Chains A and B, each alone.
Chain A
Amino acid sequence: MSAESIRRKLMIWRSLAFAAILESVRRKDLYVAVILAGLMIAAAALMGKFGVQGLEMFLKDVTLNVINLFSVLLAILFAARQIPEELTRRTVYPLLARPISRFDLIFGKFLGAFLMSSLGLILFAAIGVGALACLGLSLGSIFWQYLLLRFLSLALICAMSVMLSLLMTPSATVTLAILLAIGSQTFSQAILLAYGPASETGKGLMRVSYYVLPHLDLFDLSKKVGYGWKPIDAWVLRDLFLYAMAYTIVFLLVAALRFRRQTI
Chain B
Amino acid sequence: MTFPKLYFPNEVSQVRDMNGNRLTIVQGGNDSVRDSGGPPALRIKDLDIAYRKGWFAPAKRVVHNLSLSVRPGEVVGFLGPNGAGKSSTIKAILGFVQPEAGEVQVFGHPAGTTIAKSKIGYLPEVALYYPFLTPIETLRLYGHLQGLGGKSLDQEAFDLLRRVGLEGREKQQLKTFSKGMQQRLGIAQSLLGSPDLLVLDEVSSGLDPIGRRHLRELLREIKNAGTTIFFSSHELDEVAQLCDRVVLIANGHVVDERIMDAELQAGTSSALEEYFVNTLRNAA
List which B48-68 residues lie within 8 A (CB) of chain A.
51
Distance A99 CA – B189 CA, assembled complex (angstroms): 14
Q: Closest A residue to B146 by CB, please name it.
A: A98
20 of the cross-chain contacts (CB-CB < 8 Å) are A11-B147, A12-B145, A19-B130, A23-B132, A23-B133, A26-B132, A26-B133, A91-B129, A93-B96, A94-B122, A94-B124, A94-B129, A97-B122, A97-B124, A99-B117, A99-B145, A100-B114, A261-B98, A263-B91, A263-B96
Q: Is B30 an interface residue (CB 8 A)?
A: no
Q: Is B275 an interface residue (CB 8 A)?
A: no
Interface pair A99/B98, CB less than 8 Å apart? no
Q: Mark A242-264, 1 if CB is under 8 A from B, else 0.
A: 00000000000000000001011
Q: Closest A residue to B121 by CB, please name it.
A: A97
**Can you name 17 extra interface pairs (CB under 8 A) apart from A19-B130, A97-B122?**
A8-B147, A11-B144, A15-B140, A22-B137, A26-B132, A26-B133, A90-B128, A93-B122, A94-B142, A96-B95, A97-B124, A99-B145, A99-B147, A100-B117, A100-B145, A263-B51, A264-B97
Interface pair B115/A94, CB less than 8 Å apart? no
Interface pair A91/B97, CB less than 8 Å apart? no
Which residues in A have their C-beta under 8 angstroms from that of B130? 19, 23, 91
Distance A27 CA – B173 CA, assembled complex (angstroms): 11
Which residues in B have their C-beta under 8 angstroms from that of A18? 141
Which residues in A have their C-beta under 8 angstroms from that of B118? 99
Q: Is A95 an interface residue (CB 8 A)?
A: yes
Interface pair A91/B114, CB less than 8 Å apart? no
Q: Mark A177-210, 1 if CB is under 8 A from B, else 0.
A: 0000000000000000000000000000000000
Distance A93 CA – B122 CA, assembled complex (angstroms): 9
Which residues in B have their C-beta under 8 angstroms from that of A11? 144, 147, 149
Q: Is B136 an interface residue (CB 8 A)?
A: no
Distance A3 CA – B74 CA, assembled complex (angstroms): 37
Interface residues in chain B, defined as those with a beta carbon under 8 Å from any beta carbon in chain A: 51, 91, 94-98, 114-115, 117-118, 120, 122, 124, 126-130, 132-133, 137, 140-142, 144-147, 149, 173, 186, 189-190
Distance A261 CA – B147 CA, assembled complex (angstroms): 24
Which residues in B have their C-beta under 8 angstroms from that of A19? 130, 133, 137, 141
Interface pair A98/B96, CB less than 8 Å apart? no
Distance A90 CA – B94 CA, assembled complex (angstroms): 14
Q: Is A238 an interface residue (CB 8 A)?
A: no
Q: Closest B residue to A90 by CB, please name it.
A: B128
Q: Is A138 an interface residue (CB 8 A)?
A: no
Distance A93 CA – B142 CA, assembled complex (angstroms): 11
Q: Closest A residue to B51 by CB, please name it.
A: A263
- What's the nearest-Cβ distance from chain A to residue B226, in Å? 21
Distance A21 CA – B75 CA, assembled complex (angstroms): 39
List which A1-35 residues lie within 8 A (CB) of chain B.
8, 11-12, 14-16, 18-19, 22-23, 26-27
Which residues in A have their C-beta under 8 angstroms from that of B94? 93, 96-97
Interface pair B133/A99, CB less than 8 Å apart? no
Which residues in A have their C-beta under 8 angstroms from that of B144? 11-12, 14-15
- What's the nearest-Cβ distance from chain A to residue B118, in Å? 4
Q: Is A101 an interface residue (CB 8 A)?
A: yes
Q: Is A89 an interface residue (CB 8 A)?
A: yes
Q: Are A22 and B132 CB-contacts (below 8 A) given A8-B147, A97-B120, A263-B51?
A: yes
- What's the nearest-Cβ distance from chain B to residue A167, in Å? 14
Which residues in A have their C-beta under 8 angstroms from that of B146? 98-99
Interface pair A263/B97, CB less than 8 Å apart? yes
Distance A157 CA – B124 CA, assembled complex (angstroms): 33
